[in-house]
Amino acid sequence: MDQPIVVKVGTGVLTRAQDATLDGAALLRLVNAIAQTVGDFGKCVLVSSGAVGAGVTAFGLNEYPKDLATKQAVSAVGQTRLMHAYENLFGHFRMNVAQLLRTADDFRDPERRDNTKATLSRLLNEPAVVPIVNQNDTVAFRDYCVGDNDMLAVRVAELIGAKMLVIFSSIDGLYAPGDIGGEIIREVDDIDEVMNFAEKKTGKMSQGGMQAKLKAVRRAVNGGIETCIANGREPERLQDIVAGDGYCTRFRAQKQPA
């Protein structure tokens, strides 16, 4: 089996900043890029945030909810909106979507981990099905929480032996400290040298921020998975990125996969 790739996309890419609604145009471009990439390179798992972001308007909110119960309730509304959008858009490319909602236990408990792996492998054997994974936000908190979706994407990538992880965020890649808006760092051979390049800052609809991304990247590359941080608002770059080029910050794997 060809090694699959994992693409993670953040809420900031999928929602409009001004009113926190799903950005249909951004979604269409993303789906188009993934459909082309699947056509050219084979298997792909999408780890998509956006459940909370897509649900807030149903609760009269326009930013990430602060209390846990509201966040969980909002995600229950938003997750269906998100999948509805993905199903429609992938349908234009004659592709189907599959939804997997997971918590930390699904990776910790060996039986549940094996089940998740078997389900993903089976789904990936179908050429016209794209598995879409999110954290099960309605129950995931504290011990049940994988962390942010960057870390969830790494766990999925490890589980399926992914060849590459692409983290689509709202910026082009990693900047050297004090050089935001300058030129991104194109290649990182040693993740430990850039771990302090990120400020602990997130957008109003985002969870992780660059610091969380770098933690996730460190785990991925230390596990042998090449990882790229790229701009999800320019998803057409995906094919070049997967081919080994493309505008992004590319973090080289630190060792061979286990």
Residues flagged as binding site for ATP = 8
Place of tokens 């149903």: 58
49 binds ligand GLU (CB under 6 A): yes
CB 71, min distance to ligand GLU, A: 8
| Residue 134 sits in the site that holds ligand GLU (CB under 6 A) | yes
Distance of CA 190 to the CA centre of its chain: 22
Q: Which of 52, 162, 167, 248 binds ligand GLU (CB under 6 A)?
A: 52
The SS3 call for residue 197 is: helix
Interface stretch with ligand GLU, choices 27-35, 47-55, 91-99, 240-248 (CB under 6 A): 47-55
Which lies closer to ligand GLU via its Cβ, residue 49 or residue 249?
49
Minimum CB–partner distance for residue 258 and ligand GLU (Å): 25
Q: Residues 257, 40, 248, 121: is their CA dihedral positive or negative?
A: negative
Tokens encoding 215: 């933690």
Among 173, 208, 223, 232, binds ligand GLU (CB under 6 A): 208
Residues 143-172: x where in contact with ligand GLU by CB under 6 A, - otherwise, as a string: -----xx-----------------------
d(CA 148, CA 132): 16
Candidates 13-21, 125-133, 134-142, 244-252 — which segment interacts with ligand GLU by CB under 6 A?
134-142
**DSSP states along 86-124:** HHHHHHTTT-EEEEEEE-THHHHSHHHHHHHHHHHHHHH
Residue 55 CA to residue 74 CA, distance in Å, equals 5
Interface with ligand GLU includes 72 (CB under 6 A)? no
**Residue 87 corresponds to which amino acid?**
E
Residues of this chain that bind ligand GLU (CB under 6 A): 10-11, 49-53, 75, 134-135, 137, 148-149, 207-208
